[in-house]
A = this chain, B = another copy of it.
Amino acid sequence: MRGSEEMKIVLLSGGSGQRLWPMSNESRSKQFLKILPNEKNGPISMLQRVWRQLISTGLVDHSYVCASKSQQDMIFHQIGEIPFIEEPFRKDTFPAICLSVLYLLDKASVKPDEPIAVIPVDHYVDNHYFEQVAQLGNILDASSAELVLMGVLPEAPTSKFGYISVEPSESSAAYRKVNRFVEKPEQGIAKRLIREGALWNCGVFCFYGQTILDFLQNQGYPASYEVFRREFGNLPKRSFDYEVVEKAKSVVVYPYKGAWKDIGTWSSLCAHMDNDIAGIGTSYDCDDTHVINELGIPVVALGLQNAIVVATPDGILAADKEHSSQLKNAVAKYHGRPMFEERRWGTYRVLDYQKLEDGTEVLTKCIELFSENNISYQKHFKRSEIWTIIEGTGYMALDDRIFPVSAGDVIRVYAEQWHAIRASTKLKFIEVQRGSELVEEDIVRRYLTWAEVESVCSYGVNH
Given contacts A330-B285, A386-B388, A390-B354, contact A298 B315 (CB under 8 A): yes
Contact (Cβ within 8 A) A356 B391 = yes
A415 → chain B closest CB, angstroms: 11
Contact (Cβ within 8 A) B285 A303 = no
Question: Which residues on B sit within 8 Å (CB–CB) of A358?
Answer: 391
Contact (Cβ within 8 A) A297 B339 = yes
CB contacts under 8 Å to B, within A105-122, are none
Determine the distance from Cα of A393 to Cα of B296 in the docked complex, in whole angstroms. Answer: 32
Write out, one digit per residue, whether chain A residues 320-338 have a CB within 8 A of any chain B CB (1) or not (0). Answer: 1011101101110110100
Question: Which residues on B sit within 8 Å (CB–CB) of A384?
Answer: 408
Question: Which residues on B sit within 8 Å (CB–CB) of A334?
Answer: 282, 298, 300
Contact (Cβ within 8 A) A432 B430 = yes
Chain A residues bordering chain B, tally (CB within 8 A): 64
Question: Which residues on B sit within 8 Å (CB–CB) of A407?
Answer: 360, 434
The answer to whether the Cβ of A318 comes within 8 Å of any Cβ in the partner chain is: yes
Q: Which of B295, B364, B410 contacts A412 (CB 8 A)?
A: B410
Determine the distance from Cα of A358 to Cα of B319 in the docked complex, in whole angstroms. Answer: 39
A320 → chain B closest CB, angstroms: 3
A224 → chain B closest CB, angstroms: 44
The answer to whether the Cβ of A55 comes within 8 Å of any Cβ in the partner chain is: no
CB contacts under 8 Å to B, within A301-358, are 301-305, 307, 309, 311, 313-320, 322-324, 326-327, 329-331, 333-334, 336, 339, 351-354, 356-358
Question: Which residues on B sit within 8 Å (CB–CB) of A22?
Answer: 297-298, 300
Question: Which residues on B sit within 8 Å (CB–CB) of A307?
Answer: 304, 318
Copies in the complex: 2
Contact (Cβ within 8 A) A299 B316 = yes
Determine the distance from Cα of A314 to Cα of B280 in the docked complex, in whole angstroms. Answer: 12
The answer to whether the Cβ of A284 comes within 8 Å of any Cβ in the partner chain is: yes
The answer to whether the Cβ of A21 comes within 8 Å of any Cβ in the partner chain is: yes
The answer to whether the Cβ of A270 comes within 8 Å of any Cβ in the partner chain is: no
The answer to whether the Cβ of A362 comes within 8 Å of any Cβ in the partner chain is: yes
CB contacts under 8 Å to B, within A205-235, are none
Q: Which of B282, B315, B356, B434 contacts A330 (CB 8 A)?
A: B282
Write out, one digit per residue, whether chain A residues 411-449 have a CB within 8 A of any chain B CB (1) or not (0). Answer: 010000000000000001010101000000000000000
Given contacts A364-B430, A430-B432, contact A303 B315 (CB under 8 A): no
Contact (Cβ within 8 A) A302 B323 = yes
The answer to whether the Cβ of A366 comes within 8 Å of any Cβ in the partner chain is: yes
Write out, one digit per residue, whether chain A residues 381-410 have a CB within 8 A of any chain B CB (1) or not (0). Answer: 000101010110000000000000001101
Determine the distance from Cα of A301 to Cα of B339 in the docked complex, in whole angstroms. Answer: 20
A83 → chain B closest CB, angstroms: 36
Q: Which of B293, B322, B352, B390 contacts A356 (CB 8 A)?
A: B390
Which B residue's beta carbon lies closest to that of A266? B302
Question: Which residues on B sit within 8 Å (CB–CB) of A304?
Answer: 304, 307, 318-320
Given contacts A364-B430, A391-B360, contact A319 B298 (CB under 8 A): no
Question: Which residues on B sit within 8 Å (CB–CB) of A326?
Answer: 284-285, 302-303
Contact (Cβ within 8 A) A327 B298 = no
List chain A positions with a Cβ less than 8 A from chain B.
21-22, 282, 284-285, 293, 295-305, 307, 309, 311, 313-320, 322-324, 326-327, 329-331, 333-334, 336, 339, 351-354, 356-358, 360, 362, 364, 366, 384, 386, 388, 390-391, 407-408, 410, 412, 428, 430, 432, 434
Beyond A302-B324, A354-B366, A364-B430, 7 additional contacts (C-beta under 8 Å) are A300-B319, A300-B334, A304-B318, A318-B318, A364-B364, A388-B434, A430-B432
Question: Lowest 10 CB-CB distances: which A-B pairs, in order?
Answer: A303-B323, A303-B320, A284-B330, A302-B319, A318-B318, A351-B351, A388-B432, A298-B315, A299-B316, A309-B318
A-B contact pairs, 30 of them (CB 8 A): A282-B331, A284-B330, A285-B323, A293-B316, A295-B316, A296-B353, A299-B316, A299-B318, A300-B316, A300-B317, A300-B319, A300-B334, A301-B318, A301-B319, A302-B317, A302-B327, A302-B330, A303-B326, A304-B320, A307-B318, A351-B352, A356-B391, A360-B390, A364-B364, A386-B410, A390-B434, A408-B434, A410-B410, A410-B412, A430-B432
